Amino acid sequence: MERCVVAWTRSAGMCYLTSVAVQAGAAVDAGVEMPFPADDGLPPIHPGEILADDLEAMDLSAGQFAAHISVPLNAVTEILKGECGVTAPMAVRFGKAFGTDPRYWTNLQSLYEIKKAQAEVGDALAAITPLPYHGVAA
């Protein structure tokens, strides 16, 4: 059985959310690295989908949540619609509201973006080989 885990980040004025599927019972590390591969065969899921599920489970409207985290309503609705990603300032707010580390949200956003980029780059990625190791970097 798998469960879905999500995260938010904000970059260059955009808000982003990402989700991953993990085995039920597996611990989710909100540290710097995501312990889940971006090439797991699952489609990218915008963080807004996860946020919508969380708000529904808590019986909160977008307006109530926006007021709770002190942001304009459109900041939340744009994320919910997938029109905006989750920025670092939003990740800090989400982390505080949901009781998670902000890195949890930024990691999920990052995974979403990586999955989208892998799909965009496609076969060209296979043509790129690792550079040879030439010693210690300065």
CATH number for 60: 1.10.260.40
Residue 52, in any domain of the structure: yes
The answer to whether the CB of 36 falls within 8 A of the CB of 22 is: yes
Residue 50, in any domain of the structure: yes
- Number of structural domains the chain divides into: 1
Q: Which of 93, 87, 89 is nearest to 108 (CA)?
A: 87
> Does pLDDT of 78 surpass 90?
yes
Question: What average pLDDT does range 34-63 have in this prediction?
Answer: 84
Residue 129, in any domain of the structure: no
Domain that holds residue 112: 2-123
> Does pLDDT of 64 surpass 90?
yes
**CA–CA separation, 21 vs 36, rounded Å?**
8
Residue 60, in any domain of the structure: yes
Residue 36, in any domain of the structure: yes
Residue 133, in any domain of the structure: no
Question: What average pLDDT does range 6-27 have in this prediction?
Answer: 48
> Does pLDDT of 24 surpass 70?
no
- Residue 102: in which H helix or E strand, if any? helix 102-121
Residue 8, in any domain of the structure: yes
State the helix-helix crossing angle for 102-121 and 47-57, rounded to 10 degrees: 140
**CA–CA separation, 55 vs 23, rounded Å?**
23
Question: What average pLDDT does range 105-131 have in this prediction?
Answer: 87
pLDDT at 67: 98
Residue 81, in any domain of the structure: yes
